[in-house]
Amino acid sequence: MNHQSTPSNHIENSFPFTDLLIRAEFATTGSAPTYPLYHQYFEDFWLPIIGPTTVLLLRQLYRKYETEQGPYWVNCIELSRSLGLGHRAGANGPLWRSIKRSERFGLAALEANELRFALRVPILNTSQQSLLTTTLKRKHEIFTSRRVTA
């Protein structure tokens, strides 16, 4: 594998990097309860906020991290194809949009060719909860009230 940390020559259909070093050392901030990426909370409540591709990306990174028992290298084209995203690359390609979305919501951080991701996700903040459907808002309220009283 080519583990270069320099961007490619910016060909429109190329990934910014050939390979990414994946680390699960990124910690979410705050004192609120958190849930592992495989927990139903992540799927039920984070999925409508960050989208299915980002949920799948983070879960796949987590599973491989467990299998490798630590940091590992992944080829960007292989990662994209394994997520069903094909080989469309570039800054506007689906893989990079998902990575950027996970960064925007504090679930990952990309620095050079190293992607650190959170092993656990926090409870949605008030602003994020407002984006849920009425049914999911009720379900979230019930879930969090049981969590507090349990």
- pLDDT band for 3, please (50, 70, 90 cuts): low
pLDDT confidence tier of residue 132, bands split at 50, 70 and 90: very high
The verdict on residue 34 lying in a domain is: yes
- Residue 9: inside a domain: no
The fraction of the chain above a pLDDT of 70, given in percent, is 83
Residue 132 placed within a domain: no
- The number of distinct structural domains making up the chain is 1
Cα–Cα nearest to 122, from 4, 20, 17, 35: 35
Write down the pLDDT at residue 32. Answer: 74
Please check the confidence at residue 90 and state whether its pLDDT lies above 90.
Answer: no
pTM: 0.83
In a domain, 11, yes or no: no
**Average pLDDT over every residue of 10-37:** 74
Q: Taking the mean position of all CA atoms in its chain, how far away is CA 9?
A: 26
Q: Supply the pLDDT for residue 88.
A: 74
Judge whether 129 lies within some domain.
no
**Mean pLDDT, all residues of the chain:** 86
| Domain interval for residue 50 | 19-123
When pLDDT is cut at 50, 70 and 90, the band that residue 40 belongs to is: very high
